[in-house]
């Protein structure tokens, strides 16, 4: 297995699982651990400098999100991307975020808008300086904060449970789609600033629906990362 995950230092027992989970999640999203890779608790524990228990717990959480296939007496594998999973997650995400953004129009404050403007500025800088993972994280943060500003921060937790396959497609698309994603973020924030619920929802849905156009492009460029629909 490639040496792709940075070791953890000064880890605390109470937060070991969370830190292992975050390290693995980042490696999965950024393809440090690409689909089809075999992983083992022992090797990951050694690489991160922790015991096997937090790795075992993190593996379970990642399997629940759809990233890992844990098979008794067989190798644990990083799952390949499911097109059906992408479409299902996109439907759920759009429904939840559309409801959130309509409420955000009613509750958003000047301070909230200033925070979103700062996030947009950071996204613009990330496009100019990289790496792609920084823009990816800031993209998620903007959507998360809009959910929280609407008073429905718990909705983001539900979205995260569904969007494992989407996240990997999104990351691969950033090689050609960062500027478009940023421009759509600007439109979303402008609609929030205008307190126009219909425009905010329309901009959001247009933004989230781009996954349908991105998916065949990403699959054609990286077919090895996707499930075979005939199997």
Residues 7-39: tens digit of each pLDDT: 655 444 448 889 999 999 999 999 999 999 999
Of 31, 49, 78, which marks where a domain is finished? Answer: 78
CATH number, position 55:
1.10.10.10
Residues 138-161: tens digit of each pLDDT: 999 999 999 999 999 999 999 988
Residues 96 and 167 in one domain: yes
Residues 48 and 69 in one domain: yes
The CB density around residue 128, as the number of other CB atoms within 10 Å, is 8
Residues 57 and 111 in one domain: no
Q: Which two tokens stand for residue 135?
A: 């823009």
Report yes or no on 229 lying in a domain. Answer: no
Residues 220 and 173 in one domain: yes
Residues 133 and 196 in one domain: yes
Of 57, 78, 99, which marks where a domain is finished? Answer: 78
Residues 81-119: tens digit of each pLDDT: 999 999 999 999 999 999 999 999 999 999 999 999 999
Range list of H helices, the chain: 16-29, 41-48, 52-65, 83-107, 110-129, 132-149, 153-162, 164-193, 197-221
Residues 30 and 121 in one domain: no
Give the model's pLDDT for residue 10: 46
Residues 62 and 90 in one domain: no
Containing structural domain, residue 190? 83-224
Select, from the ranges 8-17, 96-105, 122-131, 162-171, the one with the highest average predicted confidence (pLDDT).
96-105
Residues 220 and 116 in one domain: yes
Report yes or no on 4 lying in a domain. Answer: no
Residues 134 and 38 in one domain: no
Residue bearing the bigger pLDDT, 8 or 50: 50
CATH number, position 137:
1.20.120.530
User: What is the count of structural domains for the chain?
Assistant: 2
Give the model's pLDDT for residue 113: 98
Report yes or no on 6 lying in a domain. Answer: no
Residue with tokens 């996707």: 226
CA–CA gap between residue 70 and residue 25 (Å, rounded): 16
Residues 63 and 87 in one domain: no
């Amino acid at each position: 297995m490639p040496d792709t995950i940075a070791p953890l230092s000064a880890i605390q027992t109470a937060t070991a699982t969370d830190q292992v989970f975050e390290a693995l999640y980042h490696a999965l999203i950024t393809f440090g651990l690409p689909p089809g890779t075999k992983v083992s608790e022992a090797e990951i524990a050694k690489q991160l400098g922790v015991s096997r228990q937090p790795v075992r717990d993190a593996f379970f959480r990642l399997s629940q999100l759809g990233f890992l296939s844990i098979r008794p007496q067989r190798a644990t594998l990083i799952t390949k991307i499911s097109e059906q999973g992408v479409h299902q997650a996109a439907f759920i995400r759009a429904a939840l975020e559309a409801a959130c953004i309509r409420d955000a129009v009613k509750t958003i404050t000047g301070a909230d808008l200033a925070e979103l403007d700062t996030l947009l500025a950071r996204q613009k800088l990330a496009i100019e300086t990289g790496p792609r993972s920084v823009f990816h994280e800031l993209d998620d943060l903007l959507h998360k904060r809009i959910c929280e500003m609407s008073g429905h921060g718990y909705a983001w937790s539900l979205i995260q449970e569904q969007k494992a396959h989407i996240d990997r497609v999104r990351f691969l698309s950033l090689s050609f789609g960062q500027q478009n994603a940023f421009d759509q973020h600007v439109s979303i924030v402008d609609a929030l600033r205008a307190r126009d619920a219909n425009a905010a929802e329309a901009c959001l849905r247009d933004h989230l629906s781009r996954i349908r156009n991105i998916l065949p492009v990403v699959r054609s460029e990286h077919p090895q990362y996707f499930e075979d629909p005939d199997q």
